[in-house]
C-alpha cells in the first residue's frame, strides 16, 4: 500500500502554536471499546464483516464528526464511541505537562497528540495519545508518520482485547514504547517490543528511548 497523507485533528491544540498552522481542531480523546460496524447477519447469526477500500473509508468516515471514531482494520470499519471523561483528560494533561517541561530544556522534543489518524502497516489506527518528533510533525500532513511512543487508556474491561489487537499493529510498525494505562487499577503497563513491565504505585514509568528524559511515577500519571 502506498503511504497516504492523512487528515489530522486534535483537541487543545490552541495551546501549542507549533501546530496552529498545521492541524485543524475538533478531535477528542476516546476510550477504546471496539464495536464492529453493524452489518446484515450471516447464516451463523453473527454480523457480516463487509470489506471496503481505503478510498471509500476515506470518503465516508475519515472526516465524519459524530459520537464515534472510526478505524480501518484489515479492510473493515472499526467503530469506537467517543467517551472522553475527566480522568482520561487529566491523564493526558499530566503527560503533556511533563513533555512541556522537557521541551523547555530541549527544543528537539516533539509533541503528544490525541487521536491522530495513522497507518501502522496496512491498518489505520487512532492511538489515544501518540508522540511525534518535530521532524515528523513538519511532514506528517503530507506523508504517514509512525509514532515512537503510543498510549492507550483502558477504563473498561471490554477495552483490553481491543488494546491488545492494536499492539500487534504497533509492534509490526516498530513503535518503540507503548503504555497501557489502567485508571481503576492505578497501574501502567509499559511495552518495549515483546517485553512488558508493570508499574505500580511507587514505581517510575519511562518512555525512553522514544522520548529522552520522559519519566514519571504512577502517582504523577494519575494525580
Q: For 172-213, what is each residue's pLDDT tens digit?
A: 999 999 999 999 999 999 999 999 999 999 999 999 999 999
Residue 119 host element (H or E): strand 118-120
Q: What is the pLDDT of residue 142?
A: 83
pLDDT-derived band of residue 50, with 50, 70 and 90 as boundaries?
A: confident
Please state the pTM of the whole predicted model: 0.70
Q: Is the pLDDT of residue 55 over 80?
A: no
Q: Which residue has the higher pLDDT, 39 or 187?
A: 187
Q: What is the pLDDT of residue 185?
A: 93
Q: What is the pLDDT of residue 52?
A: 79
Q: Is the pLDDT of residue 222 over 80?
A: yes
Q: Is the pLDDT of residue 99 over 90?
A: yes
C-alpha cell at 48: 457480516
| Domain coordinates in residue numbering, the chain | 9-222
Say how many residues make up the chain: 223
Alpha helices for 125-191 (secondary structure H): 134-139, 159-172
Q: How many Å from the N-terminal Cα to the C-terminal Cα in the chain? A: 42
Q: Is the pLDDT of residue 41 over 90?
A: no
pLDDT-derived band of residue 81, with 50, 70 and 90 as boundaries?
A: low
**181, 91 Cβ separation under 8 angstroms:** yes
For 147-166, the pLDDT digits (tens) are: 999 999 988 776 777 788 89
For 122-142, the pLDDT digits (tens) are: 888 989 899 999 999 999 878
pLDDT-derived band of residue 82, with 50, 70 and 90 as boundaries?
A: low
C-alpha cell at 36: 464492529
pLDDT-derived band of residue 9, with 50, 70 and 90 as boundaries?
A: very low
Mean residue pLDDT across the chain: 78
Q: How far apart are CA 198 and CA 2, in angstroms?
A: 37
> Domain 9-222, what architecture?
Alpha-Beta Complex (3.90)
Amino acid at each position: 500500500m502506498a503511504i497516504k497523507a492523512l487528515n489530522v485533528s486534535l483537541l487543545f491544540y490552541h495551546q501549542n502554536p507549533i501546530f496552529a498552522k498545521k492541524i485543524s481542531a475538533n478531535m477528542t480523546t476516546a476510550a477504546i471499546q471496539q464495536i464492529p460496524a453493524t452489518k446484515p447477519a450471516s447464516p451463523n447469526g453473527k454480523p457480516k464483516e463487509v470489506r471496503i477500500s481505503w478510498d471509500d473509508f476515506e470518503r465516508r468516515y475519515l472526516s465524519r464528526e459524530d459520537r464515534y471514531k472510526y478505524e480501518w482494520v484489515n479492510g473493515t470499519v472499526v467503530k469506537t464511541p467517543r467517551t472522553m471523561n475527566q480522568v482520561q483528560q487529566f491523564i493526558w494533561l499530566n503527560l503533556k505537562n511533563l513533555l512541556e517541561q522537557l521541551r523547555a530544556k530541549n527544543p528537539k522534543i516533539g509533541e503528544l497528540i490525541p487521536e491522530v489518524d495513522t497507518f501502522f502497516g496496512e491498518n489505520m489506527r487512532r492511538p489515544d495519545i501518540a508522540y511525534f518528533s518535530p521532524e515528523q510533525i513538519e511532514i506528517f500532513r503530507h506523508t504517514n508518520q509512525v509514532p515512537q511512543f503510543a498510549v492507550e487508556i483502558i477504563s473498561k474491561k471490554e477495552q483490553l482485547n481491543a488494546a491488545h489487537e492494536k499492539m500487534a499493529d504497533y509492534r509490526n510498525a516498530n513503535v518503540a514504547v507503548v503504555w497501557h494505562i489502567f485508571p481503576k487499577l492505578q497501574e501502567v503497563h509499559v511495552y518495549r517490543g515483546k517485553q512488558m513491565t508493570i508499574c505500580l504505585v511507587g514505581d517510575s514509568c519511562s518512555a525512553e528511548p522514544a522520548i529522552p528524559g520522559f519519566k514519571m511515577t504512577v502517582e504523577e500519571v494519575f494525580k
